[in-house]
Structure 1
Amino acid sequence: MKQIKGGVTAAKGFKAASTAAGIKYKDRTDMAMIYSEVPCAVAGTFTTNIVKAAPVKWDQHVVYDSKKAQAVIVNAGIANACTGEEGMGYCKATAEKVNKLLQIPTDEVLVASTGVIGMQLPIDRICAGVETMVPQLNGDIESGHNAALAIMTTDTHEKEVAVEIELSGKTVTIGGMCKGSGMIHPNMCTMLSFVTTDAAISQELLLEALKADVEDTYNMISVDGDTSTNDTCLLLANGMAENTKITEKNADYETFTKALRFVNETLAKQMAGDGEGATALFEVKVIGAETKEQAKILSKSVITSSLTKAAIYGHDANWGRILCAMGYSGAQFDPEKVDLFFESAAGKMQIIKDGVAVDYSEEEATKILSEPAVTAIADIKMGAAQATAWGCDLTYDYVKINADYRS
């Protein structure tokens, strides 16, 4: 596997475009489009929030009923959530506009929205945006990059990644972009992720691969514990690499899933590290667990602890907060057997051994915790299973951003 420059346009046959439609923002692009030259097998995972946005409901129909897609329309600024039948009608109207311009069946057009909940989309601006983007569709790296910029809300930077692998003697590319900074606590933040590949693979295996991968990537991040109404991850495969089509779990499938994991994990970590107001990516590894599920519960409990997140912001080695968060997670372990370490680019040090503090330097610990990426490693000494979760620190700016988000 080789990481390359690019995002959603890195794979053969995929094009992108973006535009300033004036949906909410007045000084930037706020719509993006992804298009494949040929129809794609499509997979998707979506929010488990009972309150689901109209685009989520629309895309579930495309993924599970049509099982094919050729275009994605994304807007930032308004979420099209809690908008009733009118909101669903706007999804249809968007797809119909794409159908008119590109002759793609409406049930093969995916839509996604992110932004303020409860507001109706200005559908005239959405349709005008589609009209503007279609002639601009391009497969170059810059077009994909600009699409990643257009879907941001409170994100501080675009998020994209691409890799190349070899399947049955053919070069296959997987690329993706995502947005997410606040309202991040997926159960599949406001999280949108779009991954494209020119691999030839059956829709059934594509869906199985994505669902399995999401459990260890997007579902292991949290910024603020809020599960969005719009969480969506879409994976499109157009087969244009012309590899032998993957229809069974063979060596090519394993290679593909490993590359997909890298792409999704990279995007997930970019979202966690760009949490609203955040100054650091906070990674928690639980090792020595009896089961993977136990390790997942423990690691996610730590990254969602407000007290722990605040300590990371303060570069304070307040290990009691970590042990406390593990203790109320619901997973069983012996706190008197836990070893805890802090690690970053500045070094690694043990903080507690068998549940008791060791003689460590607070000054050195602060130095380690002052890096932009910090890891806590908890060994619970019960087995060989492990899991990793990603979050961020909790700062004053998180409250500032969310206190007046609608205005």
Structure 2
Amino acid sequence: MPAVNIALQPRPDTDASVDHAIQAIVAGAGAGETCNTDLAAGPWDFDTRPGYGPGSSMGDVIPTGSPRQGELPQEYREASEEDLDRRIRAAKATLGERVVVLGHFYQREEVVLHADYVGDSFQLANAALEHPDADAIVFCGVHFMAETADLLSRPEQAVILPNLAAGCSMADMADIDQVEECWEQLAEIYGDMDQADGDGLVPVIPVTYMNSSAAIKGFVGRHGGIVCTSSNARTVLEWAFERGRRVLFFPDQHLGRNTAKAMGVPLEQMPMWNPRKAYGGASVDQLADARVILWHGFCSVHRRFSVDQIDQARAEHPGVRVIVHPECPMEVVDAADEAGSTDYIRKAIEAADEPTTFAIGTEVNLVQRLAAQHPQHEIFCLDPVVCPCSTMYRIHPGYLAWVLEGLVAGEVLNRITVPQDVADPARLALERMLAAKPPGAPVVAGSPS
């Protein structure tokens, strides 16, 4: 599952910038609506405040003690888009192969155009493995992604997150204390969690989505579990069912529900675990009959999509092809024509031979970029309100210029490191995922064995 090497990608002729669209809307010079006019401000205006910042996650409560970004120097806050572009290019040219810049699909266009590789979190972690000689990996994404890159990169390599405030509200919905408490309560019901039954199956196999902290990945590794992505969730659940009677799936309930439902698991065998309630709010009978226990977490970006939006798209665009991400609620996935990962969506559009109208249910930066790259198609976001992922949007070219020029000056800023006692079991969970491949799947070059 390689990342996209942007050196091979032509620049689009049309403006793919969500920031430009938001600036125009706020200034009254553009049509449309944005979910928060504060998105037009620099993200440094919010660095000192607790919260995820303006955007799709603004209603989520950020955990106490979440990383905060210190003040960005004034020269970067006040620099023009053109000046930042020039400074980033100059710093990259000076650093050469000493640095590799990774950009997530959901990053703003002004950042992605400087990335050496563009992809989802797992693709980018693998892209980092392809550069073992680089001194630094600058990860333009969110905190858990930088942690994963640190887990898979060499110890000497510095993994840098340009803005420490770029977290993930979904990942924060399952913290390590809550998950350990859940495990203890499940043990009260199921008994010894390490004891296999007569069929060789343990009571529960923990499965965590890639969108989780290193601490959660470490927990999974210690308890015989595995990590999944939106691309391989079915293969991972099959792996888990070969080893356990049931699965504890976190933090995203929707990916777990949509995947298990497609595998034939009845909804009544998928109780929800709310960590704020005793036994997750489920009855002992529900938990005894469970096949998949779903954590009460979700992605604020993908929760914005609705069946009404799909109905409107079909009414206004007869023959429209609707593709949504599996982090969307079940009723949205059921109403769509297809559901798949960000990479699935990208490849589906690239593979369309005839001009097609696509309505896409995923983060707007990716949708707008795809629309610019494929002008032969009509591509639009299902949600008419321009509302990017608030935490991805915290990565701004000003921060990228700052950390790159820091490297030129010999200073490593915003380094992300995972403690060894967490890193070892977290790598084990990742390696199990890498080894769990569907039949005929190619081996990913450079992946740990």
- Per the normalisation by structure 2, the TM-score is 0.24
Q: Which has the higher strand share?
A: 1
- Per the normalisation by structure 1, the TM-score is 0.26
Q: Which has the higher helix share?
A: 2
Which protein has greater RCO, CA pairs closer than 8 Å, 6+ apart?
A: 2
